[in-house]
Amino acid sequence: MKIYDVAIIGAGVTGTSIARELARYKLDVALLEKEEEPAFGVSKSNSGIIHPGIQNSPGSIKGRLCVQGNLLIRSLSKELNIDFKESGELIVAFNEEETRELLRLKKEAEILGVPGLKIVDKTWLRQNEPNLNTGVVTALYAPTAGIISPYRLVYGLAENAVRNGVEIFTETKVEDIIYSKPNFEIFSSKGLFRSMYVINSAGLFADEISKMLGVDYFRIRPRKGEEFILDKKKENMVHHLILPLPSKTSKGVLIIKTSDGNPMIGPTAEDIEDKEDLSTSDSGFNKVLFSARRLIPSINDKDIIAYFAGLRPVAGDDFIIKHEDKAPGFINVAGIQSPGLTASPAIALLVTNILKDNDLVLKKKFIFHAHRKKTIHLFQSPLLKAKKLIRKDPSYGDIVCRCEMVSAKEIRDAVKRGAKTMDGVKFRTRAQAGRCHGSFCTARIMKILAEERKIPITSVTKRGKGSEVIKEGRFCFPAPKA
């Protein structure tokens, strides 16, 4: 039986970043994921902000990794051909006292090495953010803040890791791990895996994985955040990320211009117990709307087309990234909440170094395919480009999702690249993510999924087993052509 050099548990942005980094070396790497697809846990509800590194205490691991990650994400996004927009962020102050607080933040961030910070005044704000509340007197401007699609980052990392030899096992839930000299034995819902090193990037369940090896000094507490997405019509409502002054537990409710153009408002921050509770609430909605209107008073709740909740895996104030001497060969990468996405490329480097320090031999592969082919999104293409695409492949002109302008070609490509579920298609292409919420395109997407995956249409799921979209086929098998 194959013994892997490294097994990584959890295919979120942390796990896939580590997998992709380790793929540079002559190693056998297995990435185990309990869900049907990568990014289906904590990462799927990430807001996609690439933080500049403000608001972390100067001595923290996450502060250092955030600043480093903000730099690294630029070259990484180029290699993986994922759009990264350096939009810049504004932390706003409503009075002099808050302005003093901004100066304090600026000073702290400069110690961490955040570049380009400056305080901007009312005139600047009026010119650059005309929809901002006129009560805002100053803002801390951080030019290096940016935005990326969290799903496309994870899928880009996962695809590129696989291209370079990493094996990803989905629907593979780790049930127990023991150390049985000279390697770990990982018992999963898909059978036994053996590995010399184990990396725990299991997000909300990192404490449970860690406990399996007797390392139980931390607990993951889910902190819920509800987010609300506005119609793409409101694309130009803001030009920067807009943040209020942070509170102790969170960065507050922000206005985010997502990488797809839709503005998003949120999140809430509520400590809860249940790691599966992704429900949204009226109180969350009211709170977010109230707080967001304090920044941009013109926000209309009729423009909200979607909402969701995500859970941040909180383990104290800082990230836990360390080799556990109690279980040699076992590395915890836990409590990766905000700014985890930004820090992820830096986390991957840190973990690689920890492995090296613990005697894993790292030899560079002769060939490492750093680059990934760009995925095409019609909605991001100017009309002239769209015309060329359609001439090259007619099915780019065959629109399946009318609200977000997604063609049959893009959906087929997404399935070929690994989408297995309706959510997987949505995260990769934005089909069903628009104002009609899939009312018009669900049937067509189901048919494409069934056709490409060669499964009956009744087996098509929203996000894995148990979430089949329909209960029964009535008249015809196989499904009519998509």
Partner 1 sequence: MAAGLSAHENGVKDILLIERDRYLGGILNQCIHTGFGINYFKEALTGPEYAGRFIEKVKNVPDIEVSLKSIAVKLTSDRTVTFLKPGRLETVKAKAVIMATGCREKTREMVHIQGSRPAGIFSAGGAQKLINIEGLLPGKEVVIVGSGDIGLIMARRFVMEGAKVSAIIEIQKETRGLLRNMVQCVEDFEIPVYFNHKISRIFGDSRVEKVSVIKVDDNLNEIPGSLFEINCDTILMSVGLIPENELIDMAGVRIEGTRTSVPGIFVCGNSFKIYDIVDAVTEDSFLAGKLAANYITNQ
* Residues labelled catalytic: 51
Among 26, 233, 326, 373, binds partner 1 (CB under 8 A): 233
CB of 481 to partner 1, least distance (A): 11
Among 104, 363, 454, 471, binds partner 1 (CB under 8 A): 471
Applying CB under 8 A, the span of 52-60, 273-281, 326-334, 353-361 interacting with partner 1 comes to: 273-281
- Pairing mode of beta strands 263-266, 221-230: antiparallel
Position 171 contacts partner 1 (CB under 8 A): no
Toward partner 1, which CB reaches closer, 79 or 398? 398
Position 476 contacts partner 1 (CB under 8 A): yes
Applying CB under 8 A, the span of 53-61, 198-206, 256-264, 458-466 interacting with partner 1 comes to: 458-466
Name residues contacting partner 1, limited to 3-42 (CB under 8 A): none
In terms of Cα–Cα distance, which of 16, 4, 111, 7 is closest to 336? 16
Contact 195, 184 (CB under 8 A): yes
Single-letter amino acid code for the residue at 156:
G
CB of 337 to partner 1, least distance (A): 22
Toward partner 1, which CB reaches closer, 51 or 463? 463
Beta-bridged to residue 192, according to DSSP, are 187
Contact 292, 267 (CB under 8 A): no
Toward partner 1, which CB reaches closer, 197 or 205? 205
CB of 206 to partner 1, least distance (A): 21
Applying CB under 8 A, the span of 27-35, 162-170, 297-305, 337-345 interacting with partner 1 comes to: 297-305
Mark residues 188-227: x for contact with partner 1 by CB under 8 A, - for none.
----------------------------------------
Position 429 contacts partner 1 (CB under 8 A): no
Cα 201 to Cα 215: distance, rounded to the nearest angstrom: 14
H/E stretch holding 306 reads strand 304-314
Among 57, 353, 437, 478, binds partner 1 (CB under 8 A): 437
Contacts of 459 (CB under 8 A, 6+ apart): 450, 468
Among 211, 275, 287, 462, binds partner 1 (CB under 8 A): 462
Mark residues 237-256: x for contact with partner 1 by CB under 8 A, - for none.
--------------------
Applying CB under 8 A, the span of 125-133, 147-155, 188-196, 463-471 interacting with partner 1 comes to: 463-471
Mark residues 367-406: x for contact with partner 1 by CB under 8 A, - for none.
----------------x--xx--xx--xx-xxx--x--x-
Contact 29, 4 (CB under 8 A): yes
Position 481 contacts partner 1 (CB under 8 A): no
Position 455 contacts partner 1 (CB under 8 A): no
Toward partner 1, which CB reaches closer, 155 or 379? 379
Beta-bridged to residue 6, according to DSSP, are 29, 197
DSSP letters along 402-417, please? TTTTEEHHHHHHHHHT
Query: Residue 365 has what DSSP assignment?
Result: -
CB atoms within 10 A of CB 390: 17
Q: Which pair of structure tokens corresponds to residue 253? A: 């409710």
Contacts of 127 (CB under 8 A, 6+ apart): none
Toward partner 1, which CB reaches closer, 361 or 470? 470
Contact 12, 45 (CB under 8 A): no
Contact 252, 265 (CB under 8 A): no
Position 306 contacts partner 1 (CB under 8 A): yes
Coil/strand/helix, residue 219: coil
Among 273, 282, 325, 357, binds partner 1 (CB under 8 A): 282
Position 305 contacts partner 1 (CB under 8 A): yes
CB atoms within 10 A of CB 3: 14
Cα 155 to Cα 172: distance, rounded to the nearest angstrom: 18
279-288: long-range contacts, CB 8 A cutoff, minimum separation 24: 279/309, 280/226, 280/307, 280/308, 280/309, 281/226, 284/226, 284/309, 285/226, 285/228, 287/253, 288/226, 288/227, 288/228, 288/253
CB of 314 to partner 1, least distance (A): 21
Cα 239 to Cα 211: distance, rounded to the nearest angstrom: 45
Q: In degrees, to the nearest 5, what angle opens at C-alpha 348 toward C-alphas 24 and 51?
A: 130
Among 279, 298, 300, 353, binds partner 1 (CB under 8 A): 279
Among 438, 445, 448, 449, binds partner 1 (CB under 8 A): 438
Q: Which residues bind partner 1 (CB under 8 A)?
A: 233, 276, 278-282, 285, 302, 304-308, 383, 386-387, 390-391, 394-395, 397-399, 402, 405, 422, 435-440, 442-443, 447, 457-458, 461-476, 479-480
